[in-house]
Amino acid sequence: MKIRRRRRRSVPGLNMASMPDLIFTVLFFFMIVTHMRTETVRMELEVPDGRELTKAKNRRAIVNLYIGRDSHGMTRIQVGEHTVPLEKVGAAVMDARDRMGGDDAASCVVNIRADRHTPMGVVTDVKQELRKVGALNIRYSATEMDRK
């Protein structure tokens, strides 16, 4: 009687030749789809909920204006990267609009992102300052409300 010996089978080694291609493909994918934040918000914002929201078409023609509380609980106004007093909001928006290009400056939109606990009087005062400098195209930011 013959006894058969089992051959030891080995698992073939993993081919690592395509690994750099895979890594660079994933890297390029994330570089393309990632939105880099250009402004640092220096205040606490709890944005209100909204029902009928639309996305902005031309993001380059937007001047972001944040209204919220700082770490001491004081209401602050931030235009782009700079915190400004209420009296200087119009000048700061005009400076940001002047730094844009020709077509973008003509279709400039001021995006107000206000904390939900900000008094409406502060938002009204900011709108009055914007009206003085002719920045009449205003949008309000909100988060989409859950539909149940």
Share of the chain above pLDDT 70, in %: 95
In the chain the beta strands, taken as DSSP E runs, fall at 49-50, 62-69, 75-79, 82-84, 109-114, 138-140, 143-144
Share of the chain above pLDDT 90, in %: 41
Q: Which tokens is 77 given?
A: 């106004």
Residue 50 pLDDT level (bands cut at 50, 70, 90): confident
Instruction: Give the pLDDT score at 95.
Output: 93
Contact 91, 133 (CB under 8 A): yes
Query: How does strand 143-144 pair with strand 49-50?
Result: parallel
Average the pLDDT over 27-33 and give the result: 90
Helix (H) or strand (E) holding 93: helix 89-98
Instruction: Give the pLDDT score at 1.
Output: 64
Q: What digits encode the pLDDT tens for the residues 88-131?
A: 999 999 999 888 877 777 888 999 999 989 999 999 999 999 99
Average the pLDDT over 72-99 and give the result: 91
| Burial annotation 80-95 (CB, 10 A radius, 16+ → b, else e) | beeebeeeebbebbbe
Place of tokens 């008094």: 119
Residue 37 pLDDT greater than 70, yes or no: no
